[in-house]
Structure 1
Amino acid sequence: MIPRPIPEPSPDLYTEEEVSKLVHEFYAKARKDAALGPIFEEHVIDWDAHFVQMTNFWSAQLRGTSRFRGAPMPKHIALPELNETLFKRWLQLFRQTTLELGNPLLKQHADTVAEFIAGRLWMGYQMSHFPHREPADLNTSEV
């Protein structure tokens, strides 16, 4: 599968309010989700700090801001219970959230970034946890 190219961030297309709304609405869904909720609740200690970090991350991706500081890969690799189904569920909820926001440009951009990130995290997770297996792509067309 050839991934879609990621659009360049643009501060003129999305507002900080839209980015914040995306983050808060997505995590409201994820926290209630039967599969994802328990994982987030177990591993996110300070939700206020997490919202700031995730808003900074998505602002960097969508608007080109430079506030994000972090390394998502090691944090995800440290989780013992992840699998392809969970990554796909994360993408489903994310896409549902971007659709509900009503900004088609934001939806397209954020969904493309989310697919890329989920694929990279899943690849890194497999390489770390199953080093003797050939890692499989995250088939996002099934999501």
Structure 2
Amino acid sequence: MQNPIPEPNLSLYSEEEISRLVHDFYAKARKDPDLGPIFEEHVIDWDAHFVQMTNFWSAQLRGTSRFRGAPMPKHIALPELNADLFRRWLHLFRETTQEIGNPGLKRHADTVAGFIAGRLWMGYQMSHFPQQQPIELDIETA
């Protein structure tokens, strides 16, 4: 079976593009009426968050090893998340990758983001609703 996630590659995207992706995405997300309040309530230090998210996406897209963290427990700890919020996050992310203008980055980042959103939503459901069958996130509608 072929891996649906492209392998990270240092030569395909620059650190500047990754940083722009992170900063531009969060500029949108912070203004979003649904996502903004969640981020503003839970992100205490935006400068540190930008560094952490840049390291995360650099690891995912370029294969660097600077990221240290565990995204799943942090997302599981958030109250009242739902599939619509994950789809909204993914929509804004895809919008941002389109604006960067690097088709390779867009394909790779969007694929990884879809996988991540699906995994986080699945983990969230399993933690918060253990008696229910988890429902896959429909990422095509994002």
Distance in 1, matches of 2:125 and 2:60, equals 24
- What's the CA shift for 1:81? 1.6
Paired position in structure 2 for 1:68: 67
- Find the counterpart in structure 1 of residue 116 from structure 2: 117
Q: Deviations over 1:35-64 (max 9, x none)?
A: 000000000000000000000000000100
Residue 99 (str. 1) matches residue 82 (str. 2): no
Secondary structure of the 1:38 match is helix
Runs of 4+ deviating beyond 3 Å: none
Give the whole-Å Cα distance in 1 for the aligned partners of 2:80 and 2:95: 24
Counterparts of 1:142 and 1:14 in 2: how far apart (Å)? 27
What displacement does 1:141 show? 1.2
| Percent sequence identity over aligned pairs | 79
- What secondary structure is seen at the aligned counterpart in 2 of 1:73? helix
- Corresponding position of 1:15: 14
State the shift of 1:13 in Å.
Answer: 0.4
| Matched letter for residue 52 of structure 1 | V
Aligned residues: 141
Cα deviation, 1:61-107, whole Å, max 9, x if unaligned, reads 01000000000000000001200000000000000000000000000
Q: 1:1-143 counterparts in 2 under 5 A?
A: 5-143=4-142
By how many angstroms is 1:142 displaced? 1.3
Corresponding letter in the other structure for 2:96: T
Cα distance in 2 for partners of 1:41, 1:15 equals 28
TM-score, scaled to structure 2: 0.98
Which runs of 5 or more structure 2 residues have no equivalent in the other structure? none
Extract unaligned runs of 5+ from structure 1: none
| Counterparts of 2:140 and 2:65, CA distance in 1 | 31
What's the CA shift string for 1:1-41, capped at 9, x where partnerless?
xxx70000011000000000000000000000000000000
How far, CA to CA, are the matches of 2:120 and 2:5 in structure 1?
A: 16
RMSD of aligned Cα (Å): 1.1
Amino acid at match of 1:45: I
